[in-house]
Chain A
Amino acid sequence: MEISLASAGSYPRIGDQPKQQRLRKAYGRLERGEIAAEGIEKIQQSVIKAALREQQEAGLDLLTDGQIRWHDPVSHLAGKLEGVKINGLLRFFDTNIYFRQPVITAKLRWRAPWVQDEFDFAKKVSKKPVKPVLTGPYTLARLSIVQTDAYPHLRDLVMDFAELMSREVEGLARAGATMIQIDEPAILRHPNDFGILRESITALANKKGNSHLALYTYFGDAAPFYDRLQGLPVDVLGIDFTYSSQLADRVSRDGSDKRLGLGIIDGRNTRVETKDEVFNFLNKILPRLKGDVCYVNPSCGLEYLPRDKAYRKLANMVKLKKLFEERAARR
């Protein structure tokens, strides 16, 4: 089986060295009114290029643009729709990163593509395939405040987000995305809503064209819901192995009919994974997987780590994968 090394989402946008702080300084100048918004654009582009370059240099096969332009995983998407007002800050799951909460004030309407231009840019400048990442309709709806009669039930809001997002999926597929990643961390905390999740993901899957649709969950233990995740109409299932040891047992027991995105590199801690940890895991899981390829990736986006640590984690993942394959070849 081929092991493809992938990014799972965000990448740190600044680093500790002064030359890695241009974006932070530029935003500071923007906040103080010293430069116009256009002044940020060039710097953002150079940071996106650097994020792609670092992932490539680390040795990844499938990259993301690092979500450098995103204020946060929620408002960046929801804020592009009509019917949404952006509110104050709220903690993003159990992280120390805060998102601006969307307030739904009227029926959602499409205004313009969400991340189409971001994908086009990244694809143009990247030497490796780029995977666009979208926070999924269920998570967007769950993290929103509803202040309109247009959505009496959560399901209605999820499905409207899904309907609008399916256009985006269609556009990204047409623009050449071979894989499109949908993030749904919220479902792990509300497993009773799997029916709604299924319906919304089906709406996206209907528009995916030739691309592969990947569903990623993280920030929780997916073990109790593994069979339900397997039942979703997606091509790739990304799961976070850092929250419990039970998930590895579960996957080892039940195998997988889908391609998996194995989140074994802890995207939330700076400790670098050891060879034994990674090898034991791969030996346990890989024989149980069907198909020709699986993905190994960080457990979540990497912006929870300092930049140098994020890079070191990726480089270590690449090194261990090579070593693992060399050993397997010798056997």
Chain B
Amino acid sequence: MNRYLTLLWNGLIPENPIFRLALSLCPAVAVTVSIKNGLMLGLAVVFVQVASSCTVSIFKNFIHPRIRIPAYVIIIATWVTIIDMILPVINPAVYKDVELFIKLIVVFAIIISRLELFASKEPLGLSFFDGLGMGIGFTFGLCLVGAIREFFGAGQLYGYDVLGFQPLLVMILPAGGFFVIGFIMATFNWAEYKITGKMPKSGGGH
């Protein structure tokens, strides 16, 4: 049981997909103008990550290593197609904002890298929790960026007016997303430096 919790925690902070692994940055900037959008895409990613991790874990012995990447892509694309049909029924308004990125989950590096590095080697239970941890970490990252941008850009949180005015309009413009992520990454680096006394090596970037 303990190992499962470690995997969950691992995805949340030490290997957070967005801030530490620097994977799947496109949606992190694009849909995070509000918490709602971030949450919607995050949940979609949790679903796709868990479902495809489990699928690959179950079928790992049947997938020939030479064609594993195309096989993974097809598995991911199948689950994405399913979630792409479910979400518009649940919340059409928010879905409209994030539609393109839901479809683009297929090419999110985070999912395929977890399949390659984890699910293709480990048993079902571990893969499930690894996928869940990564998905939750991704959702956490999206919501954090979304909250900061929504608060400073629109003066709102989760659609509710908090400030009543817009302190920094630039935050909800395209540029704001880049700034916020840059500063959050720097904060993570700084925190790690304070705790461990070592400067972390910067993420690979794709």
Q: Do A and B come from one complex?
A: no
